[in-house]
Structure 1
Amino acid sequence: MELPQMPEFMGLSLFFGLLALMATAAVARGWLRTEVETRGRPSGQKANGLPREKSSGGSKKQKQNQRIRKEKPQQHNFTHRLLAAALKSHSGNISCMDFSSNGKYLATCADDRTVRIWSTKDFLQREHRSMRANVELDHATLVRFSPDCRAFIVWLANGDTLRVFKMTKREDGGYTFTATPEDFPKKHKAPIINIAIADTGKFIMTASSDTTLLIWNLRGRVLSTINTNQMNNTYAAISPCSRFVASCGFTPDVKVWEVCFGKKGDFQEVTRAFELKGHSAAVHCFAFSNDSRRMASVSKDGTWRLWDTDVEYKQQQDPYLLRTGRYEEASTMLCRLALSPDGQVLALASGSSIHVYNTRRGEKEECFEQVHGQCITDLSFDITGRYLASCGDRAVRLFHNAPGHRAVVEEMQGLLKRASNESTRQRLQQQLTRAQEALKSLGALKQ
């Protein structure tokens, strides 16, 4: 019996089916081999042993975070035998700092939209805690404590005005910081170079880089406008005695005005007091001693000068030049200046370095190089003269004022030679001993 013949199309179907099965099996074997090889290789390597190219994929947020991590600068490291502490809580660059009048606190402001308040009693501790005040929708470029240490003022970078923060003490010893409902009105037309509050609490000064100084009351009303006629201002300040405001700039002098109030505390006028004359080029900066009887200045002519300002200026008596010294860095770059409370130590900063001088002898005592990773933005002694502080990157660095202790030793030794009263000699000897012990503890006692 003959078998029935299969149709031609069925034969073709079987043939192509077999081909499909063979192709599927080949692909499966290849995939399995590749998977085994991949698992046996390091993750960053291709099959040929070469490094695998990084994928350009990734989420937008991942790319942004990678870019932020890459751009964030590392904290600058600095060591020195006289370095007392480094305060490092800010995430942005610090532009200004201010010691409170009671000596208990240091305020710092940075472009991270915060103001931080540090306790000075923690400076020598291992950890340095700070209290944070947030500057909403802006950041502060300048900060100053009020005389009673219950508030501070800041200059807003974007708002171009003053803002007041009140400090309310909590039961746990910390503070709550509250901004007042309204900022000061906008009055300046040029960038601000400094702000200050008189220690009497009677007025506030703001200075801009044109030729304008404004005297305000505490409620935000302008009492007086001063035109310095210095082509441009580089620095301005209020004297610790609160009687004077002063400015320097393109001209080779420092101009000083008296802010006059009546017996009842009412504002009267601003009058010209005296000038510091003698520099041959623009003046970068100046400072007062704590008793306002001494002033120091540094100029583009490459010199610094110390002045006796305890004069009868109403009788046209001019300040006396006590000492002058060379500081060549001032001829090529902007400088910062700080004068110790007793006027015996002068600190000058240019770039990221600090030079410290004894004003009695005019000699350089210390030199701190590359203190910060960026240019120093502020320089100041604390109210006791124990520390010299500087800021420039994201840190504040505090130095022991060894030159100040040496100046006390020199002064006490000179006074002891002339003292005739025994009780006076004992008092001078005690001060001399304390200064010598402080230098010995710092390893800075000169033989």
Structure 2
Amino acid sequence: MEVVALLAVSVVLGGIILLLAVWSRKEKDVSEPEPSDHKANGQAVPEKQQSKKLKQQKPRKERTRQHTFSHHLLASALKAHSGNITCLDFSSNGKYLASCSDDRTVRIWSTKDFIEKEHRCMRANVDLDHATHGRFSPGCRTFIVWLANGDTIRVFKMTKKEDAFIFSAAHDDFPKRHKASIINIGIAETGKFIMTASNDTSILIWDLKGEVLASINTNQVANAYATVSPCGRFVASCGFTPDVKVWEVCFGKSGEFREVCRAFELKGHSAGVCGFAFSNDSRRMATVSKDGTWKLWNTDVEYKKQQDPYLLLTGQWCGIEPARIALSPDGRVVAIASVSDIAVYNGQTGQIEEEFLSVHAEIISDLSFDTTNRFLVSTGDRAIRVFHNTAGYRAAIADMKDLLKKATNKGTKDRLQQQIKDAQSALDAVSKQGK
């Protein structure tokens, strides 16, 4: 009996081992393809054709959806660029807006078309490069751009023929002088100099022919922003340190360059300054800092007698970088762009008046008021958003009503009453459009 039992056990174990061997072979056949080419319709497909076929079967990338934005204060959206817009600049006469893009073009827009359905623009091509910054000359006969790949300035002439402008390079590009990336360029309203600033600590002052007149070391660890004042006398910068430094670019009576000398500083923030802006007459400045505050300053001081600018107002903002700040031409309204959002503040009370959320698909690259104080414009993707400056109308009306109370002359009273009436009519018209 024991022998029979042992034989039975041996047979069972042998059967199990045989089944496992067969199962293992089947698994191997399934998991390991033949080393030869895959077959299609009974024919071997060579490896090259096979990989080509697999590439063709890759799913197509979905087209990026165009960012949509709507708001009752949005006057218009200017769309003509095929690439992201890097910079905006209004001409000093208020007639034009220039926009630079990585699509290798600069577009010149007519500001009188802002509230029209059709938005005309003229195109200047930037050959074999693209512009990251652009600025109009004082007479709007030329504009300058910073070349992204060339790392230098190119000057374009604007020649008007009938109803169109012809754009051409005025002369050879400026020589390369900066060792770090450019953060901004500017041209003085006086037409006497050009400024370029890089993200290290250097600012260069050039003449209009491309000769370096002076070099400034800001001593701010790293420059965050720099610009030329609207009056054309000053160059200012901010950076890692909690202050803004302002220099005067001095020329002699016959127009010859003399020197760059320290004018004044804005001190009061407790952390680095992200950006700043001038009013149109350069008598006011606004600053925004990493400390979560923005400040409005009176810079109409006798700095040559060591008089310091004085603080007018401190406001709060969300403190999320990257940030940009714009000051209305009359100094009454402050706008701050934080990432892709915009907040508009009253320059008298510091209170927020308007808020625009997710304005652009990308980080806002530029923010500015137009010279007439009617519009606030922003960009960060392929579109330029134009907003009605209702906060400006309200601030102007409040100021003029205060002046009216103090006025004693009949002519002054009549003039103020008419200005209040005009501003209120404009505000009412905007409000009516938004409904």
Q: What residue is the counterpart of 2:333 in the other structure?
A: 345
Which stretch of structure 1 is more off in the superposition, 118-127 or 214-223?
118-127
Which of these residues, 77, 81, 87, is aligned with residue 78 of structure 2?
87
- Alpha-carbon distance in structure 2 between the residues aligned to 1:117 and 1:244: 27
* 1:396 shift after superposition: 0.2
- Report the TM-score when normalising by structure 1: 0.83
Give the AA of the match of 2:169: A
Return the alpha-carbon distance in structure 1 between the equivalents of residues 208 and 64 of structure 2. Answer: 39
Query: Which of 240, 257, 278 is the equivalent residue of 1:267?
Result: 257
TM-score normalized by the length of structure 2: 0.86
Q: 1:221 aligns with which of 204, 208, 211?
A: 211
How many angstroms apart in 2 are the aligned matches of 1:432 and 1:243? 33
1:105 corresponds to which of 92, 96, 101: 96
Q: CA deviation at 1:181?
A: 3.8
What residue in structure 2 maps to residue 10 of structure 1? none
Q: Secondary structure of the equivalent of 1:224?
A: strand
Give the aligned length: 384
Aligned match for 2:157, one of 136, 141, 166 = 166
Cα deviation, residue 63, structure 1? 9.9
1:32-61 Cα distance to aligned partner (Å, 9 max, x none)? xxxxxxxxxxxxxxxxxxxxxxx9868x9x
Of 269, 286, 292, the residue aligned with 2:282 is: 292
Instruction: Quote the offset at 1:74 in angstroms.
Output: 2.4
Q: How far apart in 2 are the matches of 1:150 and 1:63?
A: 54
Write the mapping of 1:403-422 to structure 2, written as runs, cut at 5 A. Answer: 403-422=391-410
The one-character-per-residue Cα deviations of 1:304-354 (angstroms, maximum 9, x if unpaired) are: 0000011111111110000000112x2x41210000000000000011100
* Structure 2 SS opposite 1:166: strand
For residues 98 and 63 of structure 1, the distance between their equivalents in structure 2, rounded to whole angstroms, comes to 47
> Counterparts of 2:189 and 2:265 in 1: how far apart (Å)?
22
Please tell me whether Structure 1 or Structure 2 has the larger radius of gyration of its CA atoms: 1
Matched, 1:117 2:108: yes
2: CA distance between counterparts of 1:246 and 1:355?
A: 24
Shift of 1:73: 2.5
Runs of 4 or more, structure 1, over 3 Å off, are: 55-58
**Which position in structure 1 is the counterpart of 2:224?**
234
Q: Look up the match of 1:17.
A: none
Q: Could you tell me how far apart the structure 2 residues matched to 1:281 and 1:378 are?
A: 22
| In 1: Cα distance, 2:202 partner to 2:148 partner | 18
Offset from partner CA, 1:100-152 (integer Å, 9 cap, x none): 11111110011111111111111111111211111111111001011110111
Q: Which consecutive residues of structure 2, in runs of 5 or more, have no partner in the other structure?
A: 1-49
Which one-letter code corresponds to 1:323 in the other structure? L
**Can you give the 5+ residue segments of structure 1 that lack an aligned partner in the other structure?**
1-54
Instruction: Give the one of 139, 143, 146 matched to 2:137.
Output: 146
Residue 442, structure 1, aligned to residue 430, structure 2: yes
CA RMSD across the alignment? 1.9
Amino acid at match of 1:433: K
Whether 1:157 and 2:155 are equivalent positions in the alignment is no
Q: Does 1:318 align with 2:308?
A: yes
Q: In percent, how many aligned pairs have the same letter?
A: 67
- SS across alignment from 1:406: helix
SS at match of 1:188: coil
Counterpart Cα distance in 1 of 2:391 and 2:288: 19
Show the counterpart of 1:253. 243
Q: Retained in 2: the 8 A contact 1:402–1:444?
A: no
**Any conservation in 2 of the 1:75–1:394 contact (CA below 8 Å)?**
no
